[in-house]
A and B are shown apart, each in its own frame.
Chain A
């Protein structure tokens, strides 16, 4: 019985940490194939690289320095704030907001918009996968 509980417990922990639902897993697989086709040496997404992309400053679309944390803050479990309109943004961390990273269309839309806003270009497949791998652990 104890052993069963342990296994079930591990299962839940796995769900929480692994995180992606089936459609999102399929999207991550798509990104993996794309990343491999660009770089033969690609060996998987990396949450650490994703965190660095998320927190470092870049010259954004407006020509000024911004990072993802400008609006989302460095703690993704907290509310953020849109730096243009001051409107509140719900937490990006799936542990604090179960809606996050569940809808592929939504995820693709925000990755497209926010890479343009922060990096003044679209993200590569590897960058998108890295950032998603980081956010899912939050």
Chain B
């Protein structure tokens, strides 16, 4: 039993190294993840989330507006769980892909692997990070469509 506990703790802490807490809020999942991957709150800082939620009627070229009540509830969830460490340092924009950390982590990915139709863009986390929905972005769970594991 002790071994099992130890193993679980090890696995959990290992996953944590390249992971963020999962996005579990049901309203966030319903309203945001119905159109796109449910990006975890820790991937942007508070200032970024305030910008995102303050401009939903102009959301990356589409109208994603919400009623005031739902919008405020989601903003408060996002701000409560916003990132403040290496992932978001220096990025106050609305785009996760503009953080220096994110860019460094993805700079070796060849453009043709990103632009292929199974992926499309770097905002499509789940296309390659098979456990992204659980908040785990560990290299060992990367499978790039048509190219295989990340070595």
Interface residues, chain A, with chain B CB atoms under 8 Å away: 61-62, 82, 84-87, 105, 109, 112-114, 116-117
Contact = CB atoms under 8 A, between A and B. Distances in A.
A129 to B, nearest CB: 20
Interface of B: 34-37, 57, 60-67, 120, 123-124
5 contacts: A61-B62, A61-B63, A86-B124, A87-B36, A105-B67
A116 B63 contact: yes
Contacts, number: 38
A85 B124 contact: yes
Nearest to A113: B63
A15 to B, nearest CB: 27
A104 B35 CA distance: 19
Contacts of B36: 82, 84-85, 87
B120 A109 contact: no
Contacts of B124: 85-86
A93 B47 CA distance: 40
A85 B35 CA distance: 7
Nearest to A114: B63
7 shortest interchain CB distances as A-B pairs:
A116-B63, A85-B36, A113-B63, A62-B61, A117-B62, A82-B35, A117-B63
A42 to B, nearest CB: 27
A113 B64 contact: yes
B60 A84 contact: yes
A84 B62 contact: yes
Nearest to A106: B30
A86 B62 CA distance: 14
A33 B145 CA distance: 53
B62 A109 contact: no
Contacts of B62: 61-62, 84, 113, 117
A70 B62 CA distance: 14
Contacts of A114: 63
Nearest to B31: A109
Contacts of A112: 63, 65
B63 A86 contact: no
A114 B63 CA distance: 7
Nearest to A116: B63
Contacts of A87: 34-37
